[in-house]
Amino acid sequence: MLLIAAWALPVGGAGALAALFLQRLIGLVTNLVFYQRWNTGLVAPGLHHHPWWLVLLAPVAGGLVIGVMARYGSEKIRGHGMPEAIEAILTGGSRVAPKVALLKPISAAISIGTGGPFGAEGPIIMTGGAIGSMLAQVLRLSADERKTLLVSGAAAGMAATFNSPMAAVLLAVELLLFEWRPRSFVPVVGSVAVATVVRGILMGTGPVFPVPTTGLHLNGGITALAAVVGLTGGVLAVAATWLVYRAEDAFAKLPFHWMWWPAIGGAVIGLGGLIEPRALGVGYDVIDQLLTGRATTSLIIGILVVKTLIWSLSLGSGTSGGVLAPVFMIGGALGAWEGMFLPQVMPGFWAMTGLAAVVGGVMRSPLTGAIFTLELTHAWPTALPLLVASTTAYGLSTLVLKRSILTEKIARRGLHLTREYSTDPLETFFAEEVMDRSAQILTADRVLDGKFLDALLDEAAAGHGQRLFPVTGEGGTLVGVATRRALLAAGTSSSRESTVADTVQETVATVRPDDTLRHVAYLFAEHSVTSAAVVDRSPSARVLGVITLRHLLKARLHDLTEEHHRERLIIRPTATADSPSHRAHAAALTGAPTGGEK
């Protein structure tokens, strides 16, 4: 862990520099295309009036360039970054090709700089992840260690983009690591810490969208209304996710190569830009207006309708760009619109609530949705309503949609992905709790007589019985194991009287009584065995029993019972001590018979 944590620190610095580079590159392309000037500052395409043909054709041209880059450079630059990072972790051993680290930010800068309604965070996640992965590929590391460095780079880029270290770590845990263990959590935090410090030096330490909380007064009613905003945010999240994948299905039916799809998506963007120019680009300026309560009604409605449509439909074309910034804008617009009919709390409060809700619903990351909003605005007193809104949207999204905008793309590539974290039941049981203590233990000098062999044959014919027999020598020390098949073969095929010693095999795996079943499962997998002797930790290694794969299922059965078996544990007052229901309940708790046995 300490070695990987040490390597994660420079990865964090490199991720921060990559985030700054991408932002500058997006600014450069935007200024060149829409303002015909050489400037790297982030600027919105729709701040001034542009010729209609520029608004319409710039996204199409950008889409054409991205299609060519994807076909002849790397197809991995298609999409919004996070599913690609997840796929690299799940199927690629956390290996990312170096050319992806170069082409992904360039393609994203072209897509966003020519008007694409996307965010920079997805490409930064992929780029930062590629930096961590490439370092890991140079070093002699395992796949899990490569994963940790990949996620460290991805989280570093995220933290540097939005000055949001806690949200970046949560995003890593909820979306990328697939575990919460010290071996990965500590390096990711180290990387994010370095990235945040570097970001502070290069771009400042203040919030990206500062929201003053002067005059904020929260109560139970406001928190309850936050849940209502969460429900509507969940509905919008479901609708946007549905639109993305219906658009993807529609593009897949087109009778020509996918290289041309981003250009068609660019035409959709251009048409939307003619209706609402402020929907083009990253839109940080619009998010700032929404969160500070300065957005006009026409801008709110335009963003809510146009941005949602062009983002969802164009993302399905396979172009390059992230999802977070558009989700911020769409969620903020939803909350700002609802805030016109809700009680006044403070400027931008309901926009913040909508932002947290839609992030929680779209990304299926409720903690990330709430913490992201807090770190973007530094409006810390609003934590409770934001958490309520984000969690409510998350709950609705999980009930309505089988998969999120991230996991659906993974599933369409033939992979199964779970986002649920729970304690492994194999980790909560010890070998001594499930092993077979009545297992027969043989001595090496035992003769394989007819009675013993007949019993083995009967058990084999019935399909049950002991299959592995611990064999002990003088003093009861374990000397090896014998299988039922070997015992039968030796006893029935030899012309002389055989002993157990003739069948003894070397013990490749032994289990201790205090080993967890998870350790036993790993031991079985490592040595390709399905059973092992359980021996104590004394010098004599006394045999205590045998454990098999069948015994491991007892932990799963216990977990299944706890999840699905319902019972009443508190007796209703109407049940007397002598009533049948009382006796039945007591028997269920104690395991005693329910009849009149003494």
Residue 385: per-residue pLDDT? 95
123-132, 140-149, 290-299, 425-434: which has the highest mean pLDDT?
290-299
**400 & 500 share domain:** no
Residue 588: per-residue pLDDT? 45
Structural domain contains residue 210: no
Q: Does residue 18 surpass a pLDDT of 60? A: yes
Q: Please name which of 40, 287, 278 lies closest in space to residue 162, comparing C-alpha atoms.
A: 287
**144 & 263 share domain:** no
Final residue before a domain boundary, out of 358, 383, 412: 412
Is the separation of the CB atoms in 568 and 585 below 8 Å?
yes
- What range does the domain containing 595 cover? 570-598
**43 & 164 share domain:** yes
Structural domain contains residue 214: no
Rg (CA), the chain: 31
Is the separation of the CB atoms in 534 and 477 below 8 Å?
no
Average pLDDT for residues 66-93, to the nearest whole number? 73
**494 & 550 share domain:** yes
Quote the number of domains for the chain: 4
Give CA torsion, residues 10, 16, 19, 20, to 10 deg: -120
Q: Find all residues with CB under 8 Å of 431, minimum gap 6, and list them.
A: 511, 512, 513, 514, 515, 516, 517, 520, 534, 547
**459 & 490 share domain:** yes
241-245, 369-373, 463-467: which has the highest mean pLDDT?
369-373
Is the separation of the CB atoms in 198 and 159 below 8 Å?
no
Q: Please name which of 422, 413, 522 lies closest in space to residue 88, comparing C-alpha atoms.
A: 413
**395 & 447 share domain:** no
**589 & 549 share domain:** no
Query: Residue 131 belongs to what H/E stretch?
Result: helix 121-138
Residue 87 binned pLDDT confidence (cut-offs 50, 70, 90): low
More confident residue, 134 or 594: 134
Q: Write down the residue that tokens 């046995």 correspond to.
A: 597
Q: How far is CA 333 from the centre of its chain?
A: 27
Q: Is the whole-model pTM more than 0.95? A: no
Final residue before a domain boundary, out of 389, 412, 435: 412
CATH of the domain at 32: 1.10.3080.10
Structural domain contains residue 463: yes
**338 & 249 share domain:** yes
Structural domain contains residue 212: no
Q: What percent of the chain has pLDDT over 90?
A: 29
**112 & 242 share domain:** no
**27 & 66 share domain:** yes
**183 & 98 share domain:** yes
Average pLDDT for residues 363-367, to the nearest whole number? 86
Q: Does residue 595 surpass a pLDDT of 50? A: no
Mean pLDDT is lowest, of 232-236, 314-318, 364-368, 475-479, for 475-479
Structural domain contains residue 42: yes
Structural domain contains residue 480: yes
Average pLDDT for residues 285-298, to the nearest whole number? 91
Residue 17: per-residue pLDDT? 92
Residue 493: per-residue pLDDT? 66
Determine the Cα–Cα distance for residues 265 and 258; give it in Å rounded to an integer. Answer: 11
Structural domain contains residue 419: no
Is the separation of the CB atoms in 381 and 218 below 8 Å?
yes
82-96, 338-352, 417-431, 572-586: which has the highest mean pLDDT?
338-352
**313 & 395 share domain:** yes
Final residue before a domain boundary, out of 412, 445, 479: 412
Average pLDDT for residues 108-134, to the nearest whole number? 83
Residue 334: per-residue pLDDT? 95
Average pLDDT for residues 19-29, to the nearest whole number? 90
Q: Does residue 593 surpass a pLDDT of 60? A: no
Report pLDDT digits (tens) over 502-536: 788 888 888 898 888 888 998 988 888 888 888 88
Structural domain contains residue 17: yes
